[in-house]
Amino acid sequence: MPIAINGQTRLVGIFGDPITHTRSPAMHNAAFRACQLPYAYVPLLVHPSDLAKAVQAIRAYNLVGVNVTVPHKERIVRHLDELSEEATLCGAVNTVVNRDGVLFGDNTDGRGFLASLQQRGFSPHQRDIVLIGAGGSTRAVLFSLIRAGSKRITIVNRTLAKAQALIRTYRTLGQARLEAAPLDRLLDPALLQDATLVVNCTSVGLHDEPFLPINLTTTPRHCLFYDLLYRPELTTFLRQAHNARRTTMDGRSMLLHQGALAFSLWTAQPAPLQVMARALARALRTS
């Protein structure tokens, strides 16, 4: 059923470039309908050189707020009035809330990641975790894992200096022991022997890149493999994990939960998670 647009309707948007791939409108419009909220969620193609004007338009059009995706997540930070602790420490925003013209930037990616693990019954508390990649998505995940009380987090990255820089920034955030390692250490059994969660935060698997050089069979049997990518459904990383008979999670769950948290920021009510999950699954099937 299409959303009813009338004089009461208020807009929520998503800023990105490109933006045609986004599945967030399906998920959020289904949620707004289910909760009978007079909101409509639309994709907004924003060229990087227009970002400042687009942020002004949030106020000018009295938008409820926006989601922010590539390539604006980092650049939008300096245009906002207030930031959450996550957004400040990750240097990136994925959700903006318009509080009577005061624009508050938050980052729900890390909390969405934790919520997805919780739904799976996995607690990262006191666990040994390996993150592959040291880009923007690693920051959000790393922040949330430190705050959740993980024991040891190893960041493995092709460019070692980027992993080391992340560690310097996040070292004082919690008790977790943070370590950096180059990509070839994924073949070293010592790196993975105690791991209970291995997360692919790189874009490897999105296109036809080579497999990550990882020896999955050296991980404990119960180790969970999580790929932040949500497309394709079975990334090369997850196929490697399946072949090693390990349990897996893909990025759909994080996408859902970061969206649910954004919904609550805009509406001050709990998100209809089942409705959003069904809408997201449908949207991904038809893409």
How near is the Cβ of 82 to ligand ATR at its closest, in Å? 23
- Is residue 140 close enough to count as binding ligand ATR by CB under 6 A? no
How near is the Cβ of 157 to ligand ATR at its closest, in Å? 5
Contact window for ligand ATR (CB under 6 A) among 49-57, 78-86, 198-206, 242-250: 198-206
Closest-CA residue to 130 (of 180, 88, 64): 180
CA 226 to chain centre: 12
> Binder to ligand ATR among 59, 152, 158, 231 (CB under 6 A)?
158
Closest-CA residue to 67 (of 88, 91, 46): 46
Q: Which residue is nearest to ligand ATR (CB)?
A: 135
- Is residue 240 close enough to count as binding ligand ATR by CB under 6 A? no
CA atoms within 13 A on the CB side of 70: 8
> Binder to ligand ATR among 13, 112, 124, 133 (CB under 6 A)?
133
| DSSP class per residue in 192-203 | HTT-SEEEE-S-
Q: Spot the catalytic one: 53, 73, 151, 162.
A: 73
DSSP state of 61: T
- Is residue 10 close enough to count as binding ligand ATR by CB under 6 A? no
E strand or H helix at 146: helix 136-147
Measured distance CA(284)–CA(278) in Å, rounded: 10
- Is residue 203 close enough to count as binding ligand ATR by CB under 6 A? yes
Measured CA angle at 200 (ends 106, 180), to 5 deg: 90
> Binder to ligand ATR among 82, 85, 184, 209 (CB under 6 A)?
209
Asked about 151 being catalytic, the answer comes back as: no
Measured distance CA(99)–CA(97) in Å, rounded: 6
CA 260 to chain centre: 12
Nearer Cβ to ligand ATR (37/90): 90
- Is residue 164 close enough to count as binding ligand ATR by CB under 6 A? no
Among all residues, which ones are annotated catalytic? Answer: 73
Question: Applying CB under 6 A, which residues contact ligand ATR?
Answer: 133-138, 157-159, 162, 183, 201-204, 209
